Structure 1
């Protein structure tokens, strides 16, 4: 999410802040102090505030950028061969990547209270639903699962990964439950 209309040095500083924030939020979630992000980016706290009015706004920018990347990846996979395996591989990849990123995990489970706007992540949900529908049409995924169910399963799998790290077999149990009998 690059902001246009900024001077070149301001764009560079904004990019440094976003990169530093992504790293810090991934490790510590929303608890990371803004001064730590500024220090990691090599800029002053004032520079951070010029681009983002609050830590929550910076958090949202970082997380929404990653969720947009998930959506872009899902759209790129929409026409792939073997829609069942594409769906399952993508489902597991989203869980794996999100579970390693505390900020993303918090956002996907909506446990942060940061007030994400209602349509945040809509493109991700729509793109993932396309993969689900293609996999269902191919007979690989149960027909009684919809996008809301899929979101709930992702949240559940993220909880498993967060509270029982390394329990990959539990995610496999969920994946097996999604498969047609």
Structure 2
């Protein structure tokens, strides 16, 4: 039902890696990384790098990703611009960018990629973009607050927590 523009893929997906951050103020059970930018339909969002200065927690217990409000507003605008062929639907809880896909046989979503520190680019699968017909991202309370990379965005990703190596590794299309 969902289609994402084709991308070049190796026969065997390879891991991309980003540094695992430590913190004296957060529990050591939180695995933190630095999100540097978001790319929608091949274009980086026009967000100043300082917006992504707070770390993000990779969290399989959190459903949707929470990102700084400035980044979320840019993501929402780019996503809505690419989805004008579909009928908007009312918000669902905190998800405010929703669509009515009733009667639609095939849905084409814009690609979304998360770019982490060190250049690790993670292309989200279509299953990692929508939840209940809504963009599966929400803003944090402020640009200075840590974000979360939730389990919807981790769908179809293999995530390796290399604690001794101080890195988190992602491999797309692994699940």
Specify if TM > 0.5: no
Task: Pick 1 or 2: higher relative contact order, CA cutoff 8 A, min separation 6.
Answer: 2
Normalised by the length of structure 1, the TM-score is 0.26
Flag the structure with larger Rg: 1
Give the helix-richer structure, 1 or 2.
Answer: 1
